[in-house]
Amino acid sequence: MLRSFIPFLFAAGALAQTPPGSFAYTKNNLGAAFQDAEITPGVWISPDDVSDQPALWPASKKMRRDSKYMIIMMDLNIPDSDVTTASYYDTLVPGLATNTTTRVHWWGGNYTIENGQFVNSSDSLAEYTAPRPRDSTNHTYTLYLFDQPAGYVPPQAALDGTYYSQSTDTRFNFSLAPIVEAVGEPVAATYFLSDEV
Ligand SMILES: *[C@@H]1O[C@H](CO)[C@@H](O)[C@H](O)[C@H]1NC(C)=O
Ligand SMILES: *[C@@H]1O[C@H](CO)[C@@H](O)[C@H](O)[C@H]1NC(C)=O
Ligand SMILES: *[C@@H]1O[C@H](CO)[C@@H](O)[C@H](O)[C@H]1NC(C)=O
Ligand SMILES: *[C@@H]1O[C@H](CO)[C@@H](O)[C@H](O)[C@H]1NC(C)=O
Ligand SMILES: *[C@@H]1O[C@H](CO)[C@@H](O)[C@H](O)[C@H]1NC(C)=O
């Protein structure tokens, strides 16, 4: 009985830790947990448990103690109609489903590993906003850990605080492409689903 589980465990280690069909990709798991709920890829988490930003830790040996990292959390299921009118849908950064786009929920830099946790040493570029989808569907929230190479300078808009406020409309239609171009694919990720309270 036990033996039949072993190949499954090996196979599971090789699965994508990003949602199927999403833009950025990694096979490395990011350890993440809200106070009362651990985040594992695809798990549903009650909206009651997502109010405060999750704790993060390296779940893979690929992450180095002497490196700096950035964390980004994205909603990949924003209805296009929340952002613009139909004639502009094709300009939007694609979400997971047709006629959906993205919203950045959290962007923090200068994270290092201390005592087995990711700890930041500067304020976020976009402060954490709890999921609260308004369209009676489950949304997919993906947490990406990116390398922050020495000398990496965030885009001027981010430094200017454009994305900082929890409620700003500038968080919609957020593209990871310039970040991936600057620092590479995410080094780790995980994702969860949540819906309305
Ligand atoms: C996407 O939106 C366009 C424009 O409103 C609409 O014509 C089309 O049917 C929608 N597609 C889906 C799959 O909802
Ligand atoms: C969405 O973002 C893309 C660039 O990432 C931009 O070209 C496009 O104009 C934006 N669309 C809207 C409606 O803001
Ligand atoms: C890292 O911290 C420095 C100093 O506070 C700041 O200038 C820089 O913008 C931060 N980088 C990121 C990616 O947050
Ligand atoms: C770390 O980031 C959080 C928000 O994500 C912020 O409240 C806190 O002040 C930051 N820590 C430092 C040392 O800037
Ligand atoms: C979201 O998913 C959970 C778990 O599968 C389910 O119980 C819940 O009914 C779903 N919510 C909506 C709005 O579909």
Pocket test for ligand 5, best of 44, 77, 141 (most atoms within 8 A of CB): 44
Mean pLDDT value of segment 102-121 = 97
pLDDT of residue 9: 41
Q: What is the mean pLDDT of the chain?
A: 92
CA distances for 165 relative to 63, 85, 93, 125, 185, angstroms: 30, 24, 21, 9, 26
- SS3 of 39, please? strand
52 CA to centre of ligand 4 in angstroms: 13
The reported pTM is 0.93
Q: Is the CB of 109 under 6 A from ligand 3?
A: yes
CA distances for 11 relative to 14, 16, 30, angstroms: 5, 11, 17
Residue 1: which pLDDT band, with cuts at 50, 70 and 90? Answer: very low
Residue with the nearest Cα to atom 13 of ligand 3?
109
Q: Which residue has the higher pLDDT, 8 or 184?
A: 184
Atom of ligand 1 nearest to the CA of 98: 13
pLDDT digits (tens, 9 = 90+) for 149-163: 999 999 999 999 999
Residue with the nearest Cα to atom 12 of ligand 3?
109
